[in-house]
Structure 1
């Protein structure tokens, strides 16, 4: 028994000696490592404070978008720590790095805690960066999430900690951190948000500002005051946890109303401001850049903006809309073949309302949704000559539990058969809903999604008349796909991005995908020219008659009107443009003149934007054949049909029967026509078809 005990003791001693030796070796290595870091930091010296470089935005013609390139909307001041409110200092340290004065740049306990939290959540849910690390990151222009960047950041942190004292680091941090809206540093933030100096900030103001840098766009009180107040409460509670203020002071500060500064100089936003916002959103979502890099990375952003087209859009909007009206507007214009957005107007006054009605708003498209329905119909056996009766009727749905009764505009009905070509040109609602119900209500949803509509759509009879709200950008994109022969179109705002070293870090790529049948897309586009052709007049006038006389080239398009929305979207092979008119708070459009704004703005814009462009026609793809038909019945026209109209059909679906209605003395004529050249003069509209 004694021998066994002695043997165990010897083993224990050997283990203890081994642990002691390993421990000593690790301690020596750790000391060498720390000494090496300190030596490195001292040898490299204090890191130079990088001067942030302004990002410049260029238009399509290579000229700068002036407001952004001169001042970039930035305010910068450097204030000594003694000139910064103590409440700001305490609030910042409490929420960002409460052990700031007790560590040497890295909070090991916090790092370990963050790693454990991330592992438990299987995602990055907790940060562990100290103020020193964040300041080091702010001295870098590259904010990419690579291991090299993290390693470089750590070395910068060492250099900061070994060459500057804590107050100097804190001062630098507070003077460089981004507080949103172009305000860098606490003095600029105090001025921007509260119109005062940093030294004069109160506890409640300091807590509000200290909470913003974590996510400036998210926690800015000017973007979302409720989220900002929630963040302010967290900052105040962290100060209480650090024994800097009492619970009573927390409650008092949180309940004290804040007097924000609303007098901001945003003149830098005056050149296509809504377009600029769309570009910055694309820089975040597509190029994957953070806010600070976008603002201060010294980037050169080459955009797709056409300054001339933008000016034409803004000028016509200003000239056509009554300046006393509160009605709003949205316009988007892009090239259907490339997706390059050439002009964008998201509202009438950016200063009053930066809400972008092109990219953010969802509104009912009305009859502008019908081309999607008629494409689906063509896909399922319909042709431009397919006839159905236009008359008042009820449409039972939901297994007979509900009834939908649509009306035509002004309650005008043919009370007779009309063709698909007439139905789209006249915007006949009865024909549209009949078609929709024949195809099945889910078919239009499928087709709209295929065309790129991202909004939720309700599969009901009224969807044929555009009763589900959609985004304008999606609608213009969908029309662009039809104009482009069924090839997908993605709106592009950025051509390329060059970093401060002159390296191209992003270049837009055009990926072609044939989504729609090219023959059916072409026939749909041709059907959409009918809204401007008076030959399709029937029981009422074509919907584009009021602007047709002012158009000098062939356009395809569709208008749409609901009680609250007025739309016009149309295109040539070179340009597709959408215009929306309406009130922000769903007020009805009761003034007749306001309902006409969308068409008038669209017509004036398209004519002027294309004024110096050549006449380019749509080229019929294989599988499409032309035929002159009588618009009233959809049959092949004879020489006696004075209203004959050139129409395109998918090969094999063109009519084979000749019209006998217009023969003299009611005689029937069956002989075959030898060719289209024997047709009578068809006027300006058909002559323009030489470009198709």
Structure 2
């Protein structure tokens, strides 16, 4: 039997005291470190919880037409808009004590540690929702001591600065559910075609089970494993008393219908239009396009989905599939500038170059309405006459000459009116007008109408030899057609942030920039290109499509060696079409030269099919007169043709046309004499 000596007692006491002292020291040190850690976390303040969110685009009727993100499809929703079934399923399987801990579940950590020791492997996790949220927001998922320390720091910062509801909301909006889908709203839509607030108990349980291993438990990868995992979650929910036994049993047998993968695949609607929207949004919000893609914005565009579909279909059916010719197409509301449809090329995937907004091409005779507006505004009338004949013009103080030619070298070799010159697209008349007004006048008017490309001060500018953008030209026609009120191409009606706050809203500007009467007179003259009554030494330029049209249109076509244009409008819609080759190849095939008019006519008729047929409303300062188009004078009963034509009040013709007096009478006499020569048999039985 050992005898405990005083010496041994002293040693034992010293050991105990040393142990207690060291323990206290460690406790104080630990407390100091923990306090310092918490104080540091507090000083750091709340970490930003912002995450990339999917930006959604809507058509003019509120229909979703597309979205943009940076590889993470996510739509942020508030906790109140998430089904309680989702909340309960997530808490049950991920963190039952979420509302009772301060970021770390120590009891669960201890249990996981014991389990790992027994199994001599990592078999059980103990991360709380807050820890996972911190990891998802700020950290990589590689398991290192540094990451663990940072995870703890961010966990404390989140818990110190945010309410539990905010943390849970953020977690549910950031967790990964596989296939590039982040957040419960995107997951509900992706897997079930639903909103997060609509999910049933079974659906919520299935989604809650995916984050443990999206590549394993996604129903699109292994449906049976996904359903088995769902049942584990349901069992956990029952054990945690989030659902009753009856709800558990009902959820186990609930038939779950998944959205088809095909239903998730979204074709890009109007990709050229989409690019223009992105550029306009970046300009209006003063942020870059990358921020737009990931800011969870709701961008309400001006696109009319029906018109866009019509445009794309018409272009596809009108142009030969084997042809390499390209096209640009845009339709706008002439009263607001809102772009309703846009096609920047025949295949976006092959060429995203936008031939509506980026390409600069020679517009040919589509420049003439701008010239003739300037002419009417400075004293010309539809009855102003000039000779149409081969002419060599001198300019630059006689140092330079220019000799334009008409299409196929057809000339009246006589006087023609401005009304005829517009309808027949007489080039000589246009150049004469341009030089008479002074070459600065057309440039000034074009700039006033929003054409900002460089225009050369030369006689041929009247015939469209200086390149312009299709979007600018169509906008200019819209201004003339709406009576001279300023518009600009508009792609966006409104932009909201993820919380529904309005960041930008379109403002309608009704500033009058043209003379309203001159604009109407010009517009009405533009209806002549489809009016066969104006056929003279050649046919009106719209004769080929006139029979396709069922309502009043104003317009002008234009052709160069490499470009074919058609721009036309009604009071509701202005549309422009360009066709040609990207590298300046000549258009030699007659069929290709007609593509632009054909596309325009088909589109306008189909797009306006169910809309009221509206005429251009005369302004208060104009007067309508029936004239003989050839002479430009007031028509008489002897004139073979008469046409209602508008003039600025005070400039209308006052002389009557005398060119055909007696012609109808002579025709009647000749017919009468011819009848007397016929036999009684021919008079009765011969009708031809």
TM (norm. structure 2) is 0.63
Cα deviations across residues 45-100 of structure 1 (Å, max 9, x unaligned)? 7736544221110111211014x27xx472689xxxxxxxxxxxxxxxxxxxxxxx
Instruction: Tell me which residue corresponds to 1:346.
Output: 344
> How far, CA to CA, are the matches of 1:288 and 1:37 in structure 2?
40
1:282–1:493 contact (8 Å) kept in structure 2: yes
Shift of 1:442: 1.0
**SS in structure 1 opposite 2:285?**
coil
Work out whether 1:511 is the aligned partner of 2:509. yes
1:299–1:497 contact (8 Å) kept in structure 2: yes
Q: 1:614 and 1:37, CA in 2 relative to 1: closer, same or farther beyond 3 A?
A: farther
> How far, CA to CA, are the matches of 2:596 and 2:540 in structure 1?
16
Q: Which residue of the other structure, out of 311, 314, 322, is the alignment partner of 1:313? A: 311
Q: Which residue of the other structure, out of 437, 442, 453, is the alignment partner of 1:444? A: 442
Q: Which residue of the other structure, out of 55, 67, 71, is the alignment partner of 1:74? A: 71
**Aligned counterparts, 1:384-423, within 5 A:** 384-423=382-421
Instruction: Tell me which residue corresponds to 1:61.
Output: 61
1:363–1:470 contact (8 Å) kept in structure 2: yes
Cα deviations across residues 86-137 of structure 1 (Å, max 9, x unaligned)? xxxxxxxxxxxxxxxxxxxxxxxxxxxxxxxxxxxxxxxxxxxxxxxxxx9x
Shift of 1:497: 0.7
User: What is the root-mean-square deviation in Å for CA atoms of aligned residues?
Assistant: 3.0
1:367–1:561 contact (8 Å) kept in structure 2: yes
Instruction: Tell me which residue corresponds to 1:603.
Output: 601
Instruction: Tell me which residue corresponds to 1:524.
Output: 522
Shift of 1:541: 0.1
1:556–1:571 contact (8 Å) kept in structure 2: yes
2:374–2:442 contact (8 Å) kept in structure 1: yes
Shift of 1:455: 0.3
> How far, CA to CA, are the matches of 2:579 and 2:513 in structure 1?
30
Number of residue equivalences:
458
Instruction: Tell me which residue corresponds to 2:648.
Output: 650
> How far, CA to CA, are the matches of 2:344 and 2:430 in structure 1?
30
**Aligned counterparts, 1:464-613, within 5 A:** 464-613=462-611
> How far, CA to CA, are the matches of 2:341 and 2:398 in structure 1?
47
> How far, CA to CA, are the matches of 1:446 and 1:381 in structure 2?
17
2:53–2:73 contact (8 Å) kept in structure 1: no
**Aligned counterparts, 1:153-552, within 5 A:** 270-552=268-550
1:73–1:268 contact (8 Å) kept in structure 2: no
Cα deviations across residues 633-671 of structure 1 (Å, max 9, x unaligned)? 100001121310000000000000001111115999xxx
2:53–2:72 contact (8 Å) kept in structure 1: no
Q: 1:183 and 1:661, CA in 2 relative to 1: closer, same or farther beyond 3 A?
A: farther
Cα deviations across residues 504-538 of structure 1 (Å, max 9, x unaligned)? 11110011110100000000000100000011111
**Aligned counterparts, 1:105-144, within 5 A:** none
Instruction: Tell me which residue corresponds to 1:52.
Output: 52
Q: 1:293 and 1:269, CA in 2 relative to 1: closer, same or farther beyond 3 A?
A: farther
Q: 1:455 and 1:139, CA in 2 relative to 1: closer, same or farther beyond 3 A?
A: farther
Cα deviations across residues 221-246 of structure 1 (Å, max 9, x unaligned)? xxxxxxxxxxxxxxxxxxxxxxxxxx
> How far, CA to CA, are the matches of 1:404 and 1:160 in structure 2?
77
Q: 1:520 and 1:53, CA in 2 relative to 1: closer, same or farther beyond 3 A?
A: same
Q: 1:643 and 1:40, CA in 2 relative to 1: closer, same or farther beyond 3 A?
A: farther
**SS in structure 2 opposite 1:330?**
strand
Instruction: Tell me which residue corresponds to 1:260.
Output: none
2:638–2:663 contact (8 Å) kept in structure 1: no
1:531–1:544 contact (8 Å) kept in structure 2: yes
2:337–2:488 contact (8 Å) kept in structure 1: yes
Cα deviations across residues 177-229 of structure 1 (Å, max 9, x unaligned)? xxxxx999xxxxxxxxxxxxxxxxxxxxxxxxxxxxxxxxxxxxxxxxxxxxx
Shift of 1:42: 3.8
Instruction: Tell me which residue corresponds to 1:616.
Output: 614
Q: 1:665 and 1:456, CA in 2 relative to 1: closer, same or farther beyond 3 A?
A: closer
Shift of 1:279: 0.3
> How far, CA to CA, are the matches of 1:267 and 1:453 in structure 2?
40
Q: 1:47 and 1:401, CA in 2 relative to 1: closer, same or farther beyond 3 A?
A: same
Cα deviations across residues 263-286 of structure 1 (Å, max 9, x unaligned)? xxx985631000000000000112
Instruction: Tell me which residue corresponds to 1:635.
Output: 633
2:52–2:72 contact (8 Å) kept in structure 1: no
2:553–2:570 contact (8 Å) kept in structure 1: yes
1:46–1:160 contact (8 Å) kept in structure 2: no
2:271–2:348 contact (8 Å) kept in structure 1: yes
> How far, CA to CA, are the matches of 1:45 and 1:378 in structure 2?
69
Q: 1:516 and 1:37, CA in 2 relative to 1: closer, same or farther beyond 3 A?
A: farther
**SS in structure 1 opposite 2:566?**
strand
**Aligned counterparts, 1:648-687, within 5 A:** 648-664=646-662
Cα deviations across residues 140-171 of structure 1 (Å, max 9, x unaligned)? 9xxxxxxxxxxxxxxx9xx879979xxxxxxx
**SS in structure 1 opposite 2:386?**
strand
Q: 1:139 and 1:463, CA in 2 relative to 1: closer, same or farther beyond 3 A?
A: farther
TM (norm. structure 1) is 0.63
2:44–2:157 contact (8 Å) kept in structure 1: no
1:660–1:667 contact (8 Å) kept in structure 2: no
Runs of at least 5 residues in structure 2 that lack an aligned partner in the other structure? 1-34, 75-133, 139-149, 159-173, 175-179, 183-263, 667-688
> How far, CA to CA, are the matches of 2:266 and 2:408 in structure 1?
47
Runs of at least 5 residues in structure 1 that lack an aligned partner in the other structure? 1-34, 78-135, 141-155, 165-175, 177-181, 185-265, 669-692
Instruction: Tell me which residue corresponds to 1:41.
Output: 41
